């Protein structure tokens, strides 16, 4: 005859079931987040391409995007909504960009992350 499950064993199985459900939801969320990241990076790359093209139409065709960005003192960056709000706050306070620290790693392609240091 099979032995009866104790209340602790039932509770443990219940917790394990909840954990398995949670892991499944987290896995699905991570997959969804990765798809959104990839979409945002593709959109950012397209915007950068369009900006480079617009600047390039006014600039000499031989000049690089980097040179044009330096001359016009403008750069397009990809950021979260929270980071955008922080950047707007810094600008509103008259903060001055003093350093750019290259981030480690990247999400592939030519898109990299950097820390912007303000004073």
Question: Is the pLDDT at 73 greater than 70, yes or no?
Answer: yes
* 20-56 CB burial, b ≥16 within 10 A, e <16: eeeeeeeeeeeeeeeeeeeeeeeebeeebeebbeebe
Question: Is the pLDDT at 50 greater than 90, yes or no?
Answer: no
What does the pLDDT read at residue 67? 76
Q: How far apart are CA 28 and CA 57, in angstroms?
A: 44
Q: Give me the mean pLDDT over the 44-59 stretch.
A: 76
Residue boundaries of the structural domains of the chain: 1-74, 77-119
Contact at 8 Å (CB) between 116 and 97? Answer: yes
Q: Which of 27, 33, 43 is nearest to 76 (CA)?
A: 43
Q: How far apart are CA 82 and CA 87, in angstroms?
A: 9
pLDDT band at 20 (very low <50, low <70, confident <90, very high): very high
Q: What is the largest CA-CA distance in the chain?
A: 87
What does the pLDDT read at residue 49? 82
Taking only the tens place, the pLDDT of each residue in 81-101 is 888 888 888 888 988 888 777
Question: Is the pLDDT at 56 greater than 60, yes or no?
Answer: yes
The distance from CA 43 to its chain's CA centroid, rounded to whole angstroms, is 12
């Amino acid at each position: 005859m099979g032995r009866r499950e104790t209340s602790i064993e039932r509770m443990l199985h219940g917790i394990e079931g909840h954990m398995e459900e949670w892991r499944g939801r987290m896995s699905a969320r991570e997959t969804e987040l990765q798809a959104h990241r990839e979409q945002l990076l593709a959109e950012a790359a397209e915007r950068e391409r369009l900006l480079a093209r617009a600047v390039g139409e006014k600039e000499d065709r031989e000049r690089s995007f980097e040179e044009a960005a330096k001359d016009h003192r403008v750069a397009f960056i990809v950021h979260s909504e929270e980071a955008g709000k922080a950047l707007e706050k810094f600008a509103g306070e008259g903060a001055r960009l003093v350093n750019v620290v290259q981030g480690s790693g990247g999400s592939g392609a030519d898109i990299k992350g950097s820390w912007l240091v303000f004073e």
